Amino acid sequence: MNKHDGIPAGKLGESIVLSGARCADGGSADHISVEISEGIVSRVFKGAQAARAPARRNSVVDLSGYWLMPGLINAHDHLEYALYPRLADSPYKNYIEWGEDIHRKFPGLIVTHRAVSKDVRLWWGGIRNLLSGVTTVAHHNPLWPALKQSDFPVRVVEEYGWAHSVALGGDLSLARANTPKACPFIVHACEGVDELARAELCELDRLGLLDAFTVLVHGLAIDSQGAALMNARGASLIVCPSSNYTLFNVLPDMALLRRIRCIALGSDSSLTAAGDLLDEIRFAIQRCAIAPETIYRMVTKAPARILRLTRGEGSIVVSGVGDVIAVRDGGASPIERLDSLSSSDVELVVIAGRVQLASDSMLRRLPCSAVEGLEPLFLGSETRWLRAPIGDLLLGAEDVLGEGQVRLNGRIARASAHVGVPHVG
């Protein structure tokens, strides 16, 4: 795959200036103007400078009345399960018990969904993330070819090693040995409430697999000694609270887990999670009492560090990737509003300077060149214009699941009633 500064060539958008919004990054409420050229943030103006920022042959988008913030990073997802409903008859003791139970109780449903082309299922996983303002996602499974295509709707982390889990991951030492140098090694661990789950952290340490590149997912059974061990080894943790509650009727002890120095948030899959990453954020704030400022770091700078992302992901910074999202300005900043923010609030997603998502109202602010290739998706009462082959993806899923049976986070997905692209600027 051809790349330019670590960004897929097909995602490079035209030079564009996003102007007039307020900045929701770094605790500042200043107005901001961001120029993105060849996929990279070339200039950032704030405060009084933003109003007189030169365009320099760029397409200018007026974002007055919006907040601009970095694209979110989803540190853990299983993209191919986006169309599945939640499957659980909880509570369980550990993840093995859950897996065995759903294959025993829901075999027909699992077989039916697996009959949908894996490429189609993965694309819906990318769309599920895009709708919630995610621009970079870590997929916990093999890096299927579709995920590396330049037209995939979101950026997928490519440099990583992985094993499913301590119990089901096969030869963990071999999996770690096959991990690219200086890249994260990601594994489910301590996912449960019994002794099997509690013992997994020490087992990883015994195998010599717990170090600064190790990234554990879930960690529900980690105790205070385990947190200290993780800090001593420099290991990181990704939590997925709503999945833990679905399977075990237990919430992570965030007062304990926050002692772990490197911690991020993931949405997990639709099989167990409350919904998309914004749903997970709300769940974590409301049910786990995580402060909005903390949860914001857990979906921006913290996962960028844990996943060894080096292009400014999770920030709006000169020479960083041009990944930004816009939400309507309701007075309080999006960070302060994270306990109520949902995909309905995400009206613009730009990845590497290219518009990947726009609402109807945002579409009218964008230049024609920026919206060329967008297709409408109707979810509930909302339409979003996406850089994705919506018609083909719906057909590929409905051929198996049935007409009107394609659902994202419980909402029926269908082609919008719109005919053609509304008038744009």
Which CATH number covers residue 298? 3.20.20.140
- Do both 231 and 261 map to the same domain? yes
388, part of any domain: no
Q: How far is CA 256 from CA 46, 146, 148, 226, in A?
A: 38, 38, 37, 10
- Do both 301 and 328 map to the same domain? no
- Do both 205 and 87 map to the same domain? yes
Q: Which helix (H) or strand (E) holds 226?
A: helix 224-233
Percent of the chain with pLDDT over 90: 86
Across 159-168, 218-227, 370-379, 411-420, least confident range: 411-420
Q: Which helix (H) or strand (E) holds 254?
A: helix 254-257
- Do both 240 and 130 map to the same domain? yes
Contact criterion met (CB below 8 Å) for 176 and 212? no
* Predicted local distance difference test score (pLDDT) of residue 8: 45
Please identify, among 267, 283, 306, the residue that sits at the C-terminal boundary of a domain. 306
329, part of any domain: yes
58, part of any domain: yes
| 251-272 per-position pLDDT tens digit | 999 999 999 999 999 999 999 9
181, part of any domain: yes
- Do both 139 and 284 map to the same domain? yes
Please identify, among 247, 271, 306, the residue that sits at the C-terminal boundary of a domain. 306
How far apart (Å, rounded) are the C-alpha atoms in residues 299 and 194?
29
Band of residue 30 on the pLDDT scale cut at 50, 70, 90: confident
Band of residue 419 on the pLDDT scale cut at 50, 70, 90: very low
pTM (two decimals)? 0.94
- Do both 110 and 251 map to the same domain? yes
Domain coverage including residue 320: 3-71+315-375
- Do both 368 and 353 map to the same domain? yes
- Do both 90 and 204 map to the same domain? yes
**Looking at residue 319, which CATH number applies to its domain?**
2.30.40.10
Q: How far is CA 405 from CA 310, 380, 393, 396, in A?
A: 40, 13, 13, 12
* Predicted local distance difference test score (pLDDT) of residue 420: 52
Count CB neighbours of 412 within 10 A: 12
Q: How far is CA 284 from CA 98, 254, 291, 299, in A?
A: 22, 9, 9, 12
Burial class (CB in 10 A: 0-12, 13-18, 19+), 301: buried
Band of residue 13 on the pLDDT scale cut at 50, 70, 90: low
pLDDT at 2 over 50: no
User: In total, how many domains does the chain have?
Assistant: 2
pLDDT at 128 over 50: yes
Average pLDDT of every residue of the chain: 92
pLDDT at 220 over 90: yes
Please identify, among 255, 271, 306, the residue that sits at the C-terminal boundary of a domain. 306
395, part of any domain: no
- Do both 117 and 141 map to the same domain? yes
- Do both 27 and 143 map to the same domain? no
Contact criterion met (CB below 8 Å) for 320 and 311? yes
408, part of any domain: no
391, part of any domain: no
46, part of any domain: yes
381, two tokens: 């009462």
Strands 7-8 and 155-156: unpaired
How far apart (Å, rounded) are the C-alpha atoms in residues 260 and 223?
11
Percent of the chain with pLDDT over 70: 91
Which position has the higher pLDDT, 26 or 358?
358
